[in-house]
Amino acid sequence: MGMLSESELKEALAVAAGMRETGQDPHRLAHALLNLHYQNVQYQHLLEALEHYLHSGMATLELQRLRIVLDKTKAAISRTGHIEPEKFGLE
C-alpha cells in the first residue's frame, strides 16, 4: 500500500473533519482517521527527538527533552486510544 501525498492526506483529513462536524460518521471511520493521524504526528515528534538524542552524544539536556516528548506521546495515545499504564505490581 502506497503512502498518500501531502495534499491527499490534507484532503482526507479535511473530509474526515467535515464528516465529524456534520455527524455523518456512522461507522466512526473519520473519527479513527483523525485519532490515528494525531497519534502519528506524536510518534513523528518522538522519532525526531530520539534521533536528535542519539546523534547528540546522548547529552543530559537531550535526554530530558526526549523524556518530555515520550510523556506527550504516551498522553496522546492515552487520550485518543487506549494504553495500559505499567503497574510493576505495586498497586
- List, as one string, the DSSP characters of 2-41: PPPPHHHHHHHHHHHHHHHHHT--TT-HHHHHHHHHHHHH
> Does some domain include residue 14?
no
> Does some domain include residue 8?
no
Q: Which of 8-12, 76-80, 87-91 has the lowest mean pLDDT?
A: 87-91
Q: Which of 8, 36, 7, 32 is nearest to 20 (CA)?
A: 32
Quote the pTM value. 0.66
> Does some domain include residue 7?
no
Which of residues 29 and 80 earns the better pLDDT score?
29
> Does some domain include residue 56?
yes
> Does some domain include residue 49?
yes
| Percentage above 70 pLDDT, the chain | 84
Structural domain span for residue 70? 28-83
pLDDT score at 63:
81
Q: How many domains in the chain?
A: 1
> Does some domain include residue 32?
yes
> Does some domain include residue 91?
no
> Does some domain include residue 89?
no
pLDDT score at 88:
55
